[in-house]
Amino acid sequence: MGEKMKPRRVFEIIALIAIVILVSWVWIAKEIAYINDPYVKEDALLDTYVTIKAYGESKNDVERAVNKAMAEIERIDGLMNFYSENSEISKINRGAGEKPVKITNDTMKTISLSVAYAKKTDGAFDPTIGAIIPLWDFGKEKMPTTPKMKKNLPLVGYHLIKLDKKANTIAFLKDGMKIDFGGVAKGYAIDKAMEILKRGGITGALITTGSTTRVFGHKPKADTWKIGIQYPRSHKSGENTMGIISTTDKSISTSGDYQQYFIKDKVRYHHILDPKTGMPAQGCISVTIITDMGATEADILSTAIFVMGYPRGMDFIKQNNGIEGIIVTSDGAVHVSPGLKDKVEDLKARIEV
């Protein structure tokens, strides 16, 4: 018979097994949780694709928070979809020209902020552009007729909106007016969703609609998130970014003439309309805004500054704290605000147009 194992040796073996089990459990827990790799959820909402990436130490908490965040984006989309007959925006557009319409707190917040920025940008951003939107059909390459434009353009004007914040109602001073949240809904939905993620135990997250992005916290083994700025024209090398921003706890929004457009008689007609003319804004190819305020503001400002053009748009950026930007003008020149210089990787000085 073999020699009987000593108690100390037995203890050492048991301790070693316990350590192996503990290490294995920690490794498995990390794999189950979203520590090294994010939980990713995508959905078709807000007339685009929405992506949420989130990290956290509890698998259940991360998944629950992300699912709630995506459901919140879907809820906001249901309220603010210009093309849905059942949305609150459509309800407003059908009735606010006749009498005050009761609205939700979300819509009141969004329209109030939109009007505030319409004033601040001298109408470069104007939610009442909705009266012009149906006159254009970029899919069918349809332009407005002159009579229709003359009829609808007087219906554009943020000063024609009457808000009663105590009663939570909105009214239009002219029948036929329409509001459109195409330049703000994505940002607002992202901000609402990010609030849910922050409350849900998330250590780092990214929410993007492609054109508007917000990041929070950090990725594992990295202090910042890297966000690519889309190259606004087809490039012969196949390159699709014109620079990379490394940041955290910021919102980034890009407005470009390449997102919805058609070309007729060598002229590019795009979806970013100048509220004063009803026609596509001229002078810019793309505008990217980076701000620590929120995705709502980034969304609004990228549209407004695109309409302002250069140099007026860059002057606006310089005069307002917490905003940085990149403006690409129609000649291909890339203009960068002072606070972003030397902070964007591989940024082109000029693009091919």
- Strands laid side by side in the 251-256 sheet: 34-45, 48-56, 204-208, 212-217, 251-256, 284-291, 323-329, 334-336
Split at pLDDT 50, 70, 90, the class of 97 is very high
Domains of the chain as residue ranges with CATH: 38-82+181-216 (3.10.520.10), 83-172 (1.10.3980.10), 224-353 (3.10.520.10)
Q: Is the pLDDT of residue 264 over 60?
A: yes
Task: Quickly count: other Cβ atoms within 10 Å of residue 179's Cβ.
Answer: 26
Task: Quickly count: other Cβ atoms within 10 Å of residue 83's Cβ.
Answer: 12
pLDDT (mean) for 73-84: 97
CA–CA dist 16, 53 (Å, integer): 38
Q: Within 13 Å, how many C-alpha atoms sit on residue 272's CB side?
A: 29
pLDDT (mean) for 7-35: 56
Contact 310, 285 (CB under 8 A): no
Which is more confidently placed, 345 or 185?
A: 185
Nearest C-alpha neighbor of 307 from the set 271, 337, 333, 338: 271
Q: Is the pLDDT of residue 30 over 50?
A: no
Vertex 154 angle, CA 139 and 257, to 5°: 35
Torsion of CA 275, 280, 285, 289, to 10 degrees: 20
3-state class (DSSP) for residue 16? helix
At residue 13, the pLDDT reads 57
Split at pLDDT 50, 70, 90, the class of 233 is confident
At residue 17, the pLDDT reads 57
pLDDT tens digits for range 36-59: 899 999 999 999 999 999 999 999
Question: What whole-number percentage of the chain has pLDDT above 70?
Answer: 90
Contact 101, 88 (CB under 8 A): no
Q: Is the pLDDT of residue 32 over 80?
A: no
Q: What one-character DSSP code corresponds to residue 46?
A: T
pLDDT (mean) for 105-109: 98
Please report, as a single letter, which amino acid is at residue 37.
D
pLDDT (mean) for 200-225: 93
85 sits in which H/E element = none
At residue 192, the pLDDT reads 99
pLDDT tens digits for range 170-179: 999 999 999 9
Structure tokens given for 130:
């909705």
The pLDDT mean for the chain works out to 91
Split at pLDDT 50, 70, 90, the class of 222 is confident
Most confident range (mean pLDDT) of 4-8, 21-25, 90-94, 221-225 is 90-94
pLDDT tens digits for range 137-159: 999 999 999 999 999 999 999 99
Split at pLDDT 50, 70, 90, the class of 18 is low
Distances (CA, A) of 268 to 37, 53, 283: 41, 35, 12
Question: Can you give the pTM of this predicted structure?
Answer: 0.89
Q: Is the pLDDT of residue 31 over 80?
A: no
Task: Quickly count: other Cβ atoms within 10 Å of residue 129's Cβ.
Answer: 26
Q: What one-character DSSP code corresponds to residue 260?
A: S
Nearest C-alpha neighbor of 70 from the set 213, 201, 197: 197
